[in-house]
Chain A
Amino acid sequence: MNHDAQMDYYGTHLATCSSDRSVKIFDVRNGGQILIADLRGHEGPVWQVAWAHTMYGNILGSCSYDRKVIIWREENGTWEKSHEHVRHDSSVNSVCWAPHDYGLILACGSSDGAISLLMYTGEGQWEVKKINNAHTIGCNAVSWAPAVVPGSLIDQPSGQKPNYIKRFASGGCDNLIKLWKEEEDGQWKEEQKLEAHSDWVRDVAWDPSIGLPTSTIASCSQDGHVFIWTCDDASGNTWSPKLLHKFSDVVWHVSWSITANILAVSRLFSQEELQMQPQIDHLP
């Protein structure tokens, strides 16, 4: 049983993971499908895979019911296990790489309620920061905010390294979506608590597009609701939910298109797309 399938940065390689404990990588260029790697190392069903940005090489993260997060890396055409993160006490349900601007950082959400952040410090070393009790009885999803501070695309002087504010969203079995922000001392702090779902939050997806003045997060839940959260103010404090759709049963997954005007919503027996209502203001 497959639990996730993700394309790499270029859309040429596909990683899948399955309840048979395997992670597989396919070359899908030009309509082909060549199995490149069958990665074994997990001891339970593998829930999610995530590709790191290619500027760091070919790196894949995977998380499993076996409480492990494994980072796989391609060296000279061969995929191998590069790191094993075993600091969770229960199923790790979600992994998500931070925007590449921050370096290699992987956020992992687990059923033990904690979220851990794996940071590559060079020379094969990974540093772990852990947010305990992020979501009581389990975190189901993590999703990073895009690297650019809202509205700053044009204003930003080119060449100067902007002072990024690192943020990510998480959703869990406490029916909450939480937004986390890295403080100046490097500690992660709960910034916002978004409450609208009446059952487990199954997935959250932060709108990946940059340059828009509005931040947007999509969330879906066991209760069948899909919410779109938007925040207009720069401080990121005021989030308002809008019910996008109410399904009859659990919604498992939401995914934004790269240009973020389409949201794919996955449920059992059907996968649907919901087109965002684009705001069009044509001049006369």
Chain B
Amino acid sequence: MKLKEVDRTAMQAWSPAQNHPIYLATGTSAQQLDATFSTNASLEIFELDLSDPSLDMKSCATFSSSHRYHKLIWGPYKMDSKGDVSGVLIAGGENGNIILYDPSKIIAGDKEVVIAQNDKHTGPVRALDVNIFQTNLVASGANESEIYIWDLNNFATPMTPGAKTQPPEDISCIAWNRQVQHILASASPSGRATVWDLRKNEPIIKVSDHSNRMHCSGLAWHPDIATQMVLASEDDRLPVIQMWDLRFASSPLRVLENHARGILAIAWSMADPELLLSCGKDAKILCSNPNTGEVLYELPTNTQWCFDIQWCPRNPAVLSAASFDGRISVYSIMGGSTDGLRQKQVDKLSSSFGNLDPFGTGQPLPPLQIPQQTAQHSIVLPLKKPPKWIRRPVGASFSFGGKLVTFENVRMPSHQGAEQQQQQHHVFISQVVTEKEFLSRSDQLQQAVQSQGFINYCQKKIDASQTEFEKNVWSFLKVNFEDDSRGKYLELLGYRKEDLGKKALKDSDQVAQSDGEESPAAEEQLLGEHIKEEKEESEFLPSSGGTFNISVSGDIDGLITQALLTGNFESAVDLCLHDNRMADAIILAIAGGQELLARTQKKYFAKSQSKITRLITAVVMKNWKEIVESCDLKNWREALAAVLTYAKPDEFSALCDLLGTRLENEGDSPLQTQACLCYICAGNVEKLVACWTKAQDGSHPLSLQDLIEKVVILRKAVQLTQAMDTSTVGVLLAAKMSQYANLLAAQGSIAAALAFLPDNTNQPNIVQLRDRLCRAQGEPVAGHESPKIPYEKQQLPKGRPGPVGHHQMPRVQTQQYYPHVRIAPTVTTWSNKTPTALPSHPPAASPSDTQGENPPPPGFIMHGNVNPNAAGQLPTSPGHMHTQVPPYPQPQPYQPAQPYPFGTGGSAMYRPQQPVAPPTSNAYPNTPYISSASSYSGQSQLYAAQHQASSPTSSPATSFPPPPSSGASFQHGGPGAPPSSSAYALPPGTTGTLPAASELPASQRTENHSVQDQAPMLEGPQNGWNDPPALNRVPKKKKMPENFMPPVPITSPIMNPLGDPQSQMLQQQPSPPIPLSSQSSFPQPHLSGGQPFHGIQQPLGQTGMPPSFSKPNIEGAPGAPIGNTFQHVQSLPTKKITKKPIPDEHLILKTTFEDLIQRCLSSATDPQTKRKLDDASKRLEFLYDKLREQTLSPTITSGLHSIARSIETRNYSEGLTMHTHIVSTSNFSETSAFMPVLKVVLTQANKLGV
């Protein structure tokens, strides 16, 4: 659908991909006039602002130019990574001039925007291209076969790619190769395209179909495959796009005939090589897949021709097209509706009137009505096929229970033809454990609860306490489980009854000096004294009877006496008080009865001002509430001690609570935390939680663990000591407990989570969680209240097989499409096995092997019955330490020590993430919810076979028994040896358009041998840039795959140890399943010179793209190994040299090949074939020369010998296979001169059946 448009008759150039925001530069195009006949020209820059829904493009800058342009490009030259507006605009003018503009200056409005200018060319410069590897290099083409290479660092003197082609012709297009930096192609309206090698400074190949009708208007290299390019023809008689492959440059590989009239421009998407845009004189803009010829999309355009079309480099869904009606339109190929767009425009229109009663009618304007053109309901459909960039290839999602579901699509090399690439579709479920300490502590807690070993647990906690407060808390908790808890509490507060008593008796003077803070001591002291007094009194009273004189005088004594004598105790007491004779008053009051005593006490306390009076008051009056309510909070300890000493059991809790509440509400923060101690004494769980939560950050698992430990212990204590009903759970506690259970569940400890979840509660969140946990465990909710929330449907699906039968994986034909859900193995999977058991996916997980022969591992059977009580069987913390995996899987330290004998670069990176070695297993009998280490890592487990290698006990020797016959002969060449011919079994022709290959990043194809050596099948038989997948049109290859690729079950990476590339490298031995076929259909050649000619074949089940592939992407400098890749293309022997004889052992090659050509010639009928064969015969001389000079590597010669043998047996298809193998494994430069010819001969022989 159309996103934007600008009314300009102009050439266009998008800002480079690095640039953000996206700009579009337009330059008035040459040789076109609009209706005003204006000859003004300008260079403009627009911003693509997609957040603006209107069709207008935001103009950023306009520069009036004196030139009109034939071509405009925007190169990223000197652009920094931040992508600030920079780069350089390169324009091709009418008079042989090339002008460099600085776009940032244009945007800034500078007048001096031209960086440099050069008019060295003859005629209009129609062709320009920037080298994507060296952005300072620009190629240009003009008339008279002129091609210049400009170095923007030294713009004055251009280079030429070689001698001008003759006859002189216009250069209409020019393009740098996308894979090899020094390869350039040019094309002209005459229909010829020339490929230049800048290193050799000459043309290396000319491409032409001899029809003389190709009128080249467009030229584009394949974004990924170095040898492929397309040419578009402007000629109405041949309105085609030809796809060429330079490895077979005698005729086009494919011809796209989708346009009815000549094609004016093409553009190949860099983001998806299956998208090629073309616009033609039939006024169509098409997007086709050049690899199949299918039209994927036709842009809805007007009837005007477009003369220029460009993909936006940054936004792959966006393209721009310039049409002859003077408009540049920006489209999205993702389709969509323009209704919204239009509506927005209407809104905009409406709102521009303000909508506010512009005519003063007192009524706002009605919304603008535009006629709904229902007929043109403007839905624009997207591409027929989803573009590559929206196909999400990987993903990882968390789910309940700390499980991580990951999927990845590993592309497999295919042997069944180009389009049917096989992929591994694995979905992995792994357990993520990040809180090891949390889990281990949770386990300990559970154990303590199970074993009732609370005192020990608390003691441990006390010992481990880091802070005094923590220690106190645990000590308090511990006391709950001991006898005489109150006394112990007092001790904890620092008061020991006996000590105090002694102290008091010993030294009463100190008491007098004691300050307020020691008031409890004073209190004790008081008690002591009181006792003493009583004793004294009792001693004294009997003896006092003797001399007793009653005075009734008028002084106070007399009055008291009178009162006493009249029995008026009240008056007597009053008199005593009045006279400050406190002791007398009290004693009298005692005699006067309870009532009087109470009153007297009150009066006494009212009069007394001593510091400890209030305490005494409280003690005497038994008014502990008073103490608790009014004591200085600094003295909370003392208050608590008093409560502990005196309070009755029924009021004890309440008083502790009260004190705690005061501390919490009134105290400063250190005191607030102390409130916890009060709550512990009170046994008030809910308040403890509240207080703790207030003081601590409860969101972190460990701090929550801290709380829960205390809460659980306290609850147990309360249960034991107070026989209280603890089943009621407060809101806050419920919240915390469910948070805790959630955390446990998130770490995979579902059983533990269930165990900790409070019973008997109607808290909806807990009920929900319980239900969820139960079901997550795979058992129906039983023994618990069913959830209150209105579940419409809760019953488990009926008729499902129980957990025992894992044999239902549908398979057979469609199996490659089945996502193979692999449950990450748990430790239990192999808990009863020896550690040599491979810690890879359990066999039960692989469909091919699940026919009832794999009952679930023991642990799983247990698992079905796990109930919360089973929690006691949880492993202890060391177990967790083993079973848990750090969130960042690390390469294991032992790996580097393993003597993998491949020495060339890249091997080390081949297995970046090995799973942790399996722990010895028996320790974890019942931990089905804890994933094993090896099962965890998203990276490692994708490569199932690597598990095997990583298992220290699975020695290669035992895992991969060498075939009896081959062991000795397959000597490894050692590091740096020529690559093994491991891909030879790939039938030629089928790999050609392997999407797998075509979608590989470019640099991969330029990787050196070491990478290929490791993963030959992954790359296909590719080697250098020049060795992309072979062509797809070689006939008769359909049957080949079966010869060499017996259908390996898709599970082979798991079941077949040879799926492990490392082991393979280690041994260089043929894999047991594969060599059977490859040997039978492919006689092994003699090994000459001990050179490795390994019958190695990556099994089909090779688990795909190894992680190392990302490495080459980074490191493999594009075009790196290009040293001499091109030099043989045209290096046919030109000089006559004195020829040495071909060595005897190779003479058979010559005779065989020549004989074959002769046979072909004699049976060939059409002259074209004969000509080809003649030519081949000549070209093979080059091979013979090489044989004479003995410059060919033994790998190649031995390969040639096998070809010769297959020719003798007339098994040409085998010969072709061998041929592909040689090509794929050898240096292109070594073989390029004769191997293509040999292929022609073999193909012809096969066709002719000679």
Contacts and interface: CB of A to CB of B under 8 A. Distances in A.
Contacts of A89: 335-337, 379-381
A170 B403 CA distance: 25
Given A2-B819, A74-B797, A259 B743 contact: yes
A11 B314 contact: no
A252 B406 contact: no
Nearest to A248: B1114
Interface size class of B (residues with CB under 8 A): 35 or more
B392 A31 contact: no
A44 B386 contact: yes
Contacts of A77: 797-800
Contacts of B819: 2, 5, 16, 18, 24
Given A19-B391, A133-B344, A262 B887 contact: yes
B1014 interface: no
Contacts of B817: 18, 20, 22
Interface stretch (A180-188, A234-242, A273-281): A273-281
Nearest to A208: B398
A12 B776 CA distance: 6
Contacts of B732: 154
B339 A132 contact: yes
A205 to B, nearest CB: 9
A26 B408 CA distance: 17
A253 B396 contact: yes
B813 interface: no
Nearest to B338: A89
B1109 A269 contact: yes
Contact of A262 (B434, B797, B863): B434
Contacts of A3: 391-392, 395
A258 to B, nearest CB: 5
A200 B390 CA distance: 11
A252 B863 CA distance: 35
Interface residues of A, number: 97
A219 interface: no
A155 B386 CA distance: 49
Contacts of B469: 283-284
Contacts of B399: 6-8, 11, 258
A31 B928 contact: yes
A6 B405 contact: yes
B772 interface: yes
B803 A54 contact: no
Interface stretch (B151-159, B786-794, B965-973): B786-794
Interface in A247-277: 248, 252-253, 255-259, 261-262, 264-273, 275
Given A5-B397, A5-B406, A198 B695 contact: no
A34 interface: yes
A211 B396 CA distance: 25
A4 B799 contact: no
A45 interface: yes
A5 B407 contact: yes
Interface in A115-172: 132-133, 136-138, 153-154, 158
Contacts of B775: 10, 12
Nearest to B428: A5
Interface in A65-121: 65, 67, 74, 76-77, 89-91, 93, 110-114
Interface string A184-202: 0000000000000011100
A81 B773 CA distance: 29
Nearest to B399: A7
A47 B429 contact: no
Interface string B190-228: 000000000000000000000000000000000000000
A279 B700 contact: yes
A200 to B, nearest CB: 8
Contacts of B800: 27, 34, 36, 77
A111 B829 CA distance: 44
A214 to B, nearest CB: 10
Contacts of B856: 30-32
A74 B318 CA distance: 41
Contacts of B394: 252-253, 266-269, 271
Contacts of B429: 7, 14, 28
Given A89-B380, A132-B340, A271-B408, A258 B742 contact: yes
A283 B776 contact: no
B317 interface: yes
A200 B318 CA distance: 12
B405 A7 contact: yes
A136 B863 CA distance: 50
Interface in A208-252: 211-212, 248, 252
B842 interface: yes
A20 B391 CA distance: 12
Interface centre among B3, B83, B391, B928 (most CB of A within 10 A): B391
Given A34-B801, A55-B792, A137 B397 contact: no
Nearest to A58: B793
Contacts of B918: none
Contacts of A154: 732, 735
Contacts of B739: 211
Contacts of A31: 803, 823, 825-826, 829, 842, 844-845, 856-857, 860, 928
Contacts of B673: 283
B427 interface: yes
Contact of B776 (A10, A16, A262): A10
Interface string B437-471: 00000000000000000000000000000010100
B974 interface: no
Given A54-B791, A282-B703, A6 B396 contact: no
Interface stretch (B110-118, B804-812, B1195-1203, B1211-1219): B804-812
Contacts of B799: 77
Interface in B696-718: 696-697, 699-703
Interface centre among B397, B429, B467, B703 (most CB of A within 10 A): B397
Contacts of B398: 255-258, 262, 264
Interface string B306-343: 00000000110110000000000000101111011101
B51 A257 contact: no
A9 B772 contact: yes
Nearest to A33: B821
A131 to B, nearest CB: 9
Given A7-B405, A212-B699, A45 B939 contact: no
Nearest to B750: A11
A35 B132 CA distance: 48
Contacts of A262: 398, 432, 434, 887
Contacts of A34: 800-801, 805-806, 808-809
B336 A9 contact: no
A75 B735 CA distance: 34
A30 B798 contact: no
B400 A9 contact: yes
B432 A158 contact: no
Contact of A281 (B397, B697, B887): B697
A177 interface: no
A113 B406 contact: no
Nearest to A24: B819
5 contacts: A1-B391, A31-B842, A91-B386, A114-B340, A280-B700
Interface of A: 1-12, 14, 16, 18-20, 22, 24, 26-36, 38, 44-45, 47, 54-58, 65, 67, 74, 76-77, 89-91, 93, 110-114, 132-133, 136-138, 153-154, 158, 173-174, 176, 198-200, 211-212, 248, 252-253, 255-259, 261-262, 264-273, 275, 278-284
What 8 A-B pairs have minimum CB-CB distances, sorted nearest first?
Answer: A7-B399, A132-B340, A112-B336, A136-B50, A57-B793, A271-B938, A29-B778, A30-B803
Given A29-B778, A252-B393, A257-B746, 19 more contacts: A1-B391, A5-B397, A6-B397, A10-B400, A14-B821, A18-B819, A28-B429, A30-B803, A31-B829, A34-B809, A35-B808, A44-B386, A57-B793, A133-B344, A173-B317, A255-B395, A268-B1110, A269-B394, A280-B702
